[in-house]
Structure 1
Amino acid sequence: MIEVKNLKKQFGKNVVLDNINLEIKKGEVVSLIGPSGSGKSTILRSIIDLETITSGDILIEGNNLKDKKIKKEMLLKTGMVFQTFNLFPHMSVRNNIVKTLELVKKLDKKEANKIAEETLEVVGLIDKIDNFPSELSGGQKQRVAIARALSLRPDILLFDEPTSALDPELVKEVLDIIRKLKNDKITMLIVSHEMNFVKEISDKVVVLEKGEILEKGDSKKIFENPDSQRVKEFLNTIY
C-alpha cells in the first residue's frame, strides 16, 4: 500500500530524515515511535505531500508520487487525522464532513449527507451531527476528525498523535475507534506515544531517533526483545 524508499528530508543543513525505508501492506497497522524530534510526523507529512522531500521515493499502491499525472489520485487514497482536530469552528459537525466531500470528491449535497451520516454512525456521534465543534469534548472532536477522514473512503489512514491533545479520560474513546478500524482491516500508519496501545494494535513497529530508523519489526519483538540497546533504553523510560 505504501512504500518509502531512501527518503531524505532536510531544512538547510539540518537533516530531519535520512535513509528512511518502510513498507506497509494492505490491512496492516504500523506504528512509528521514538523521542520527540525524531522525524515521525515528518514521515506522515511527506506521505501526504505536506512536506517536499529532499530525495528518495514514496509509492502509494505502486505509484510514485513524483509522477504528477497520478499524484492527486494517489493522495486521495490517503486520509490523515491530525493531533489538533483541524475542524472548521463555524461549521456544524455535518458540514465539516459534507463541505469536505463537496470540495474534494465533488459529490452532490445529498450523497455527501448520506456519507456523513454513515461515518458518524461508525464513530458513535450521529447524535452530534448538528452540533458545532465548540459544543464537543476533545475526544468527540477527534472522533469527528476521524469520521471526516473516513468519509473520503481512503485506502490508507495516517494518524499523527491522535490522543496527544486530549485529557487522559478522553483518550480511550479515540483509541477504541482506532481498534474498530483495525478490525475492519483498514490500513493504518500511526504516530503515538501511547505505548500500551501501540504494542496492542500494531502489526509492525518502527523506532526512530534523530531522523533515522533504529529498529523495526513485529510489535511483540520490539517491545519484549529488541535488538538495539538504544531501543531498550528508550522503551524503559516510557513503557
Structure 2
Amino acid sequence: MIEVKNLKKSFNNSTVLENINFYVNKGETVSLIGPSGSGKSTLLRCIIDLENFDEGEIYIKNKNLKDKNFKNDLLLKMGMVFQNFNLFPHMTVKENIVKTLKLVKKMSEIDANNKAKEVLELVGLYEKRGSFPNELSGGQKQRVAIARALALEPDILLFDEPTSALDPELVKEVLDIIKKLKQEKNITMLIVSHEMKFVKEISDKVIVLDNSKILEIGSSQKIFENPSSTRVKEFLNNI
C-alpha cells in the first residue's frame, strides 16, 4: 500500500530525513517512533504530499506519488488525522463532515448526511452532531477528526501524534477508537505516536527513527523485547 524508497528531505540545508526505505502492506498497522525531531511527522507529511522531498520515491498502491496522472486519485485514497484536530470552528460536528464530503467527493446532501451519521456512530459521537467544536472536549474533537477522515473512505489512514494535544484522561478514548478501526475495518494505518504501550499493543510493525535515519524496523515484539540496536534500547529505556 505504501513504499518509500531512498527518501531525503532537508530544510535550509539541514537534513531531516535521509535514505528512508520501508513498506507498509495492506491492512497493516505500522507505527513510527523515535525521539522528538527525528523526522517522523515530516515523513507522514511527505507521504500525503503536504511536504515536497528532495530525493527518492513514494509509491501508493504501486503508483508513484509524483506521477501527475495518478496523484489526485492517490491522495483521495489517504486520510490524515492531525494532532490539533483541524476542525472548522464555525461549523457543527455534522457540518464539518458533510461539507468535506460535498467538497471532496461531490456527494449529494442526503448521501453526505447518511455517511456522517454512520461515521459519527462509529466513533460514538452521533449525539454531538449539532455541537460546535468549542463545545467539545479535546478527545471528542479528535474523534470527530477521525470520523471526518473515515467518511472519505480512505484505504490508508495516517495519524500524526493523535493524542499529544490531549489531557492524559482523554487519551484512552482516542486510542480505543484507533484500536476499533484495526479490529473492524481493513484500513492500512501509519501512526506517529509517543504512547509506547499503545504502539506495542496495536502495531504489526514498528519503525524507529533517530537523527533523520531509520535505526531499526521489526515486529512490535522484536522492537520492544529484543531490539538489535543499542540506541533503540536506550531510547525505549528512557521513556
**Mapping of residues 39-118 of structure 1, within 5 Å:** 39-118=39-118
Give the 5 Å matches for 1:146-225: 146-184=146-184, 185-225=186-226
1:124 aligns with 2:128: no
Question: How many angstroms apart in 2 are the aligned matches of 1:74 and 1:100?
Answer: 17
Residues in 2 aligned to 1:11 and 1:173: alpha-carbon distance in whole angstroms = 35
The amino acid that maps onto 1:203 is D
- String of CA shifts for 1:20-40, please: whole Å, max 9, x gaps: 011000110000000000000
Q: TM-score, normalised by structure 2?
A: 0.99
RMSD: 0.6
104-113 vs 222-231, greater mean Cα deviation: 104-113
Deviation at 1:12, TM superposition (A): 2.6
Q: 2:27: which partner in 1?
A: 27
Cα deviation for residue 186 of structure 1 reads 1.7
Alpha-carbon distance in structure 2 between the residues aligned to 1:176 and 1:182: 10
Per the alignment, residue 141 of structure 1 pairs with 141
Q: CA separation in 1, counterparts of 2:3 and 2:96?
A: 31
Return the offset for 1:142: 0.2
Looking at structure 1, the residues matched to 15 and 39 of structure 2 have their Cα atoms a distance apart, in angstroms, of 10
Supply the distance in 2 between the matched residues of 1:117 and 1:166 (Cα, whole angstroms).
Answer: 25
Look up the SS of the partner of 1:163 in the other structure: coil
The letter for the 2-side match of 1:59 is Y
- CA shift, 1:119, in A, is 0.3
Q: Give the distance between the partners of 1:157 and 1:182, measured in 2 at CA.
A: 11
Structure 1 residue ranges, 4+ long, deviating more than 3 angstroms after superposition: none
The percentage of counterpart residues that share the same residue type is 72
CA distance in 2, matches of 1:88, 1:200: 32
Amino acid at match of 1:116: A
In 2, Cα distance between the equivalents of 1:229 and 1:11? 28
Structure 2: which 5+ runs fail to align? none
* 1:230 aligns to 2:236 (yes or no): no
Secondary structure of 1:68 counterpart: coil
Aligned mates of 2:68, 2:11 — CA distance in 1: 23
Alpha-carbon shift at residue 130 of structure 1 (Å): 0.7
For 1:122 and 1:28, the matched residues in 2 are separated by 20
Task: Please report how far the alpha carbon of residue 66 of structure 1 lies from its aligned counterpart in structure 2 after TM superposition.
Answer: 1.0
Residue 117 of structure 1 and its aligned partner are, at CA, apart by: 0.5
Please tell me the residue identity of whatever aligns with 1:224.
Answer: E
2:166 match: secondary structure: coil
Residue-pair matches, total:
238
Structure 1 runs not aligned, ≥5 long? none
In structure 1, distance between residues paired with 2:98 and 2:57? 33
Q: State the partner residue of 1:15.
A: 15
CA offsets 1:117-156 (integer angstroms, 9 cap, x no match): 0000110000000110011000000000000000000000
AA of the residue aligned to 1:53: F
What letter is aligned with 2:126? I
